[in-house]
Structure formats: C-alpha cells, structure tokens
Structure 1
Amino acid sequence: MTIRSLVPLPVRRHFRDLSASYSTLRLIAGMWEDQGFTPSGEPNNESGERRGFWREFEDNVDWTDPGHVNRVVRVYETLVDAITPEELASTRKFMDRQGFDVDAEGRIRPKSNTALAMVAAMPRSLNTLRDPAMILDSFERINRALPTDPAQAIGSAKELVEATAKTVLEELGVPFEDKTAKLPQLIDRAQRELGLHPQTAAPGPDGSQAVKRILGGLSGIALGLGELRNEGWGTGHAARRTGLRPRHGYLAVGAAHTWCQVVLDTLADPSAPWRTQVADATAG
C-alpha cells in the first residue's frame, strides 16, 4: 500500500514561492540541512536561483513518509519565522484554506480533517518498519473517522492495535495464525516478545515495580479496545451509535496510539533489553 502525499501541492508551491524572498542560498541550505535533507543536484524548471535550489531539497523528500514530512514542517516553520508580517498574514490565510493553523509563534499544525493530522499521531519509529502498510491503513481510517464518526474511530482504533501487533510479530519473525489469532493473543505475544509484559520485563527500569504496573495497564488498554468494539460500540459488530460522542472516539484512538507508540518505539530501540535477550538465546 502506498499512502497519498501528506502535504498538498499548493502548500509546497506556496513555501517554494516564499523561499524566493529569503535572503541567501546559504540560509536556505541551512534550513533544510538542519533537518537532515540534502539537495538532489538535479536540474529543474523553477524560475529563479532560490526557488530552484529549494526545489532540489524537495526532490529528496518522501511526501508519504511521516518522518520526512514532520521534518519538512520544521523547515516551513523556520521560513515562517523569517518572513515579513505582511507575508505572515497572507500565509496564515492561505494555510487556513488548506486546512492548517499557523499559531502566533509560527508553529504549523494540521486541522483534524487534513491528511497531515494523521502524521501528528504516528509514532516516528513507524519509519523503521519494513512493511508498515497495515498500520498506515488503520491511521488512514482513523483520520477519516475523527471527529464525526466515533463508532468508526473505535473500530479503527482496535484495528490499529491488531495491525501493530501483527506487524511487530512479522518484524521479529515470530509465527502466528493470521486468520485465526485473536486480539488478546496477539497483544500478549507482542508484549512478551518485546519484554513489555509484566512477567517478562528485564532488569533495570524496565523491570521496576512501577514500570511493571504501567505495563499491566498498557495491556489492559489494548484489551479494553477490543472489548469496547466487541460490545457493539465500534464498527464491525453491528455498531450501536446511540449515545456515542466524539470524546469516545478520541478516547479509543488515544488509547490505541499509546499502546502502539510504546510497542513500536521498543521494537526500534537499538538498546532495548529484548535485543539482548534474543542475542543470548541465539548464542545459547
């Protein structure tokens, strides 16, 4: 699955145009390079040296990659900080039409109905996965559901946890029955494999009583999502919508995000205790 571009073309063109009034090529380079981007060196048809140079950095952006897009937004914010008050007022109006807020400090935030709103909720460690397709699909569904369809948001939040658990097990090479595995089994197995289960937590902070208590609550959060959906409050089981409010959808999505964030960050952490445990088992 390939998700759509997370930054609309008009927004890209707007900031490319703004770059033409930015003082020097050196400063443009600094903005992009500070965020880890390099120019492509490829010729383009942009008019003006500054616009063309800006475009070379854009050439090396994956506009479907949440990590790349978050860094591009930081570039935009740096440029916003340097433009005139008149340009800032114009940019605010333009970005509002495109579904973004530019606050008094120049920070850019997506409104809830934009594609980039999905980026804000995505763990950055998602970028380390070989195949994040199932997780991205769940985020797409959540993005479409909030805030107007809490039943769909609840159902998609449950699917996000399930997709994350399956993806983690696949990344670790742990076999499971894709068609028949139940959510509680997937959650338990994923957390155990990553040392995130209260019974498998490693020495150090991961094995402290406080962290074990939190990990137990983490399991409960994920399991609660499945139960909420199975009780009929989420799509997939003849959803009951009477009484559901946007806050219920946000509750479910927030819970799912918390679980996924911890699991994916632990999977990506090069010094996480689970890696030592795997190495020890292999050596033995």
Structure 2
Amino acid sequence: MTYRQIVPLPVRRHFRELAAQTSVLRLITGMWEDQGFVPSGDPNNEAGDRRTLWHEYEDNVDWVDPAHVARVLRVYETLLDGLADGVIDAARKFLERQGFDLDSDGRIKPKADSFAAAAARLPRSFGALRDPTMILDSFDRIDRALPTDPAQAIGSAKELVEATAKTVLIELGVPFEDKTAKLPALIDLAQRALLLHPQTQVPGPDGSNAVKRILGGLMSVAMGLGELRNEGWGTGHAPAAPRAGLRPRHAHLAVGAAHTWCQLILDTLADPAAPWRKHATNGLPSGSTT
C-alpha cells in the first residue's frame, strides 16, 4: 500500500539537484551528519558523485516520520544558506507551490493548510507504524475542513479515531470485522489490546485507579465522537434538518478529543516499555488480565 509522504518527490529532487550544482562532497556529508543521518551505502542510479551521495542519505530518511522530516528540512536550510539571492528566490517560489514556506530567516515550514503541515503535527510515535495511510488520510481531511466546515471536521474526527483503532489492531494482528465493526467495538478492542482498558489489571501507573478513571473517560469521549456524528452534526449521516448552531468551536472540541485519544493509542503502541509488550512476549493475549 502506498504511503503518504510529508516531503513529496519533486521537493527531494529539487534539493538533490541544487546540492549537485552548488555544493561539494565534504559539505554534503556535513549537512546530513550534523542532523544525525548516515549514508546507506546502497547503489542508486544517480549521475555524479554528489547526487549519488545525497541520495544515499535520503535512503535512510523515514519520509512519513515528522521528526525525521524536520531534520531533513534543516539540511535543506543549510544548503540554501549563503547561496545567491536569485537561487533562494527560485527555491522560495518552488517550495510555495509544493506546500512549504521559506521565511526571511531561511526557515522552511509546511504551510498551515498543507498536508505536510497536518502530518508534521502528528505525534512522533506515528513514524513507528508500518502503514499509516488511513490515519494520514483522515488527518488531511480534518486539516482542510477545520477552518470552514465544522460538520466535515467532526465527521473526519470520528474517522480518525476509527482509522487509528483499525491500524493498531492490524499492527498487533488482532482480528476484527473491517466492514461491519462499529466504532465502540473498535475502541474497546484497541484499548484492550494495548492494556489501556479500565478493566485491565496491570502493574505501575497504567493500573492505578487514577489512570483507570482517565482511561474510562477518554474511552467515553472517543465513543462520543461517533454519537455526535450519528446525531447528524458531522458528515456521514445526513441530518433531518439544517445543522443550526453548529460552530467551529464544536469542530475543535471533536478534533481535540480525537487527537488526544489517537496520541495515547499511538504512543502506547510505540512505547518499548509499555505493559502490553510484556504480555505479548509471554504469549498471552494483549487484553488478558492474568
């Protein structure tokens, strides 16, 4: 399945060519390694030593990981630093067409309304997913709808929770009915699989009464997104009457709730010390309370 990548291929090609035209091998190495990257050493089809070396560093970038991409943007900024004004102006216009801004201080940032900006605001644990496509698509729709279409944002917030639950269950190999499973069942399954269900007994803070109360509340909040959508306030269920009184604040409420639940789920999935990993290692079902 195709991944939605934060930095599109035209941007990568642009800076690879720019490096080949304006830099040298020693400086290319410094730019990338200052940001913690190492070359892959794998062969590629680039022409010339500079393009080949640049591509080898690109090989070790996770292009759907916001943390990786932030470091790559710092590489691009270093490459642009000190170049002729005409080259920088051309780069600025090109980046604008691709959904990025190059500000007067030489910083490259995704535009507020671009897909790249949406993906860059995802939790870092998002990068641990093998296939984040469903989540990225939902996040993209939320970001486009939030400023002007609260009903669409509410519907997409529900879809984000659903996509996150399904993605986690797929990652963990937990079976579910993809076409018929309802949101409450998916939320319940995902939280049980990660030992985040308030009924699950685990040691440490995850098993404390306080965390259990929070988990129960968060579970109810996530399920409430489905109810809000089903009552006609979000897209996906046609309302019997116009959505009178629906305001952007209602959309922000729904989106904030969705983000909080999804971050907890993704962070727990990625946490190497999370209790669910011990149960999985012991061969027990993740939702086991024994």
Q: The TM-score by the shorter chain falls in which range?
A: 0.7 to 0.9
Among 20, 41, 44, the alignment partner of 1:42 is 44
Q: Which residue matches 1:262?
A: 264
Task: From the superposition, tell whether residues 104 and 223 of structure 1 become closer, same or farther in structure 2 (CA, over 3 Å).
Answer: farther
For 1:49-198, what aligned pairs fall within 5 Å after superposition? 49-58=49-58, 61=61, 65-67=63-65, 70-81=67-78, 83-84=81-82, 87=85, 90=89, 91-92=91-92, 94-103=94-103, 106-198=106-198
Contact kept? 1:31, 1:75, Cα under 8 Å: no
Offset of 1:84 from its aligned partner? 2.4
Distance 1:56 1:176 in 2: 40
User: What is the one-letter code of the residue matched to 2:170?
Assistant: E
Contact kept? 1:35, 1:75, Cα under 8 Å: no
Distance 1:36 1:281 in 2: 36
Distance 2:231 2:160 in 1: 18
User: What is the one-letter code of the residue matched to 1:36?
Assistant: F
Distance 1:109 1:201 in 2: 44
Offset of 1:156 from its aligned partner? 1.4
User: What is the one-letter code of the residue matched to 2:266?
Assistant: L
Contact kept? 1:15, 1:76, Cα under 8 Å: no
RMSD, aligned α-carbons: 3.3
Unaligned runs of 5+ in 2: none
User: What is the one-letter code of the residue matched to 1:181?
Assistant: A
1:237 equivalenced with 2:234 (yes/no): no
Offset of 1:260 from its aligned partner? 1.3
Contact kept? 2:130, 2:171, Cα under 8 Å: yes
Task: From the superposition, tell whether residues 243 and 270 of structure 1 become closer, same or farther in structure 2 (CA, over 3 Å).
Answer: same
Contact kept? 2:39, 2:53, Cα under 8 Å: no
Offset of 1:212 from its aligned partner? 2.7
TM-score (norm 2): 0.78
Describe the superposition over 1:223-259 as per-residue Cα deviations: whole angstroms up to 9, x where unpaired.
2211211121111111554443444334322321221
Q: Which residue matches 2:255?
A: 253
User: More displaced, 223-232 or 244-253?
Assistant: 244-253
Task: From the superposition, tell whether residues 58 and 131 of structure 1 become closer, same or farther in structure 2 (CA, over 3 Å).
Answer: closer
Contact kept? 1:73, 1:108, Cα under 8 Å: no
User: What is the one-letter code of the residue matched to 1:223?
Assistant: M
For 1:196-235, what aligned pairs fall within 5 Å after superposition? 196-200=196-200, 202-235=202-235
The DSSP-based 3-state class of the residue aligned with 2:109 is strand
The DSSP-based 3-state class of the residue aligned with 1:238 is coil
Offset of 1:51 from its aligned partner? 4.4
Distance 1:55 1:173 in 2: 34
Aligned identity (percent) is 64
Contact kept? 2:67, 2:124, Cα under 8 Å: no
Contact kept? 2:6, 2:69, Cα under 8 Å: no
Contact kept? 2:202, 2:275, Cα under 8 Å: yes
Describe the superposition over 1:125-183 as per-residue Cα deviations: whole angstroms up to 9, x where unpaired.
33433444433332343344343322122111111111222232333333333333321
The DSSP-based 3-state class of the residue aligned with 2:154 is helix
User: What is the one-letter code of the residue matched to 2:37?
Assistant: G
Distance 2:245 2:154 in 1: 14
User: What is the one-letter code of the residue matched to 2:272?
Assistant: P
Distance 2:50 2:211 in 1: 51
Contact kept? 2:6, 2:120, Cα under 8 Å: no
User: More displaced, 142-151 or 179-188?
Assistant: 142-151
Distance 2:170 2:9 in 1: 35
Contact kept? 1:35, 1:71, Cα under 8 Å: no
User: What is the one-letter code of the residue matched to 1:244?
Assistant: L
Offset of 1:263 from its aligned partner? 0.7
Distance 1:128 1:73 in 2: 16
The DSSP-based 3-state class of the residue aligned with 1:66 is coil
Unaligned runs of 5+ in 1: none
